[in-house]
């Protein structure tokens, strides 16, 4: 009887160890309200990889605390902004773009009489983090 109980306990411990990696991997998919720093660091890293200048302007939980809304501004070439959006879409977090406004700054500069040979674009993004856990 005692031997069977020890074997069951050992089997249970081995099972917990076997799923530990998967549990850790699954937890990295979720943003906890007590620690949003990894999410913000990931956004900054992706912006650097894309070659854009990006600033997170606000991070707010939704009214019902079921998601998190991030507002950010990015600037760069059209290609780098597009790359930023693509990399964010493929991040480990579940994100939904609620608003994307991309504008060509050269068109505005041309109307003001300024000539710029490099095409400069800006993007205003509103992103809902669906994998948000209010803890």
DSSP symbols for the chain: -HHHHHHHHHHHHHHHHHHHHHHHHHHTTSEETTB-HHHHHHHHHHHHHHT-EEEEEEEEE-TTSS-EEEEEEEEE-HHHHHHHHHHHHTSSS-EEEEEEEEEEHHHHHHHTT---SS--EEEEEEEEESSEE--
Q: Is the pLDDT of residue 109 over 60?
A: no
- pLDDT at residue 84 in the model: 96
Q: What is the pLDDT of residues 30-70, one digit of tens each?
A: 565 556 788 888 899 999 999 999 999 998 877 776 778 99
Please tell me the pTM assigned to this model: 0.68
For residues 12 and 49, the model is more confident at 49
- pLDDT at residue 53 in the model: 94
Structural domains of the chain ordered from first start: 2-133 (3.30.70.60)
């Amino acid at each position: 009887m005692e031997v069977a109980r020890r074997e069951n306990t050992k089997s249970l411990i081995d099972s917990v160890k076997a799923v530990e990696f998967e549990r850790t991997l699954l937890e990295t998919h979720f943003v906890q309200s007590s620690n949003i720093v990894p999410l913000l660091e990931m956004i900054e890293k992706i912006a650097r990889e894309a070659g854009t200048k990006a600033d997170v302007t606000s991070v707010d939980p939704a009214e019902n605390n079921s998601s998190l809304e991030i507002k950010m501004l990015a600037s760069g070439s059209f290609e780098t902004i597009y790359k930023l959006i693509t990399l964010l879409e493929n991040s480990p977090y579940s994100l939904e773009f609620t608003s994307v406004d991309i504008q060509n700054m050269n068109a505005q500069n041309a109307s003001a009489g300024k000539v710029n040979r490099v095409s400069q674009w800006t993007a205003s993004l509103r992103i809902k983090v669906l994998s948000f856990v209010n803890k």
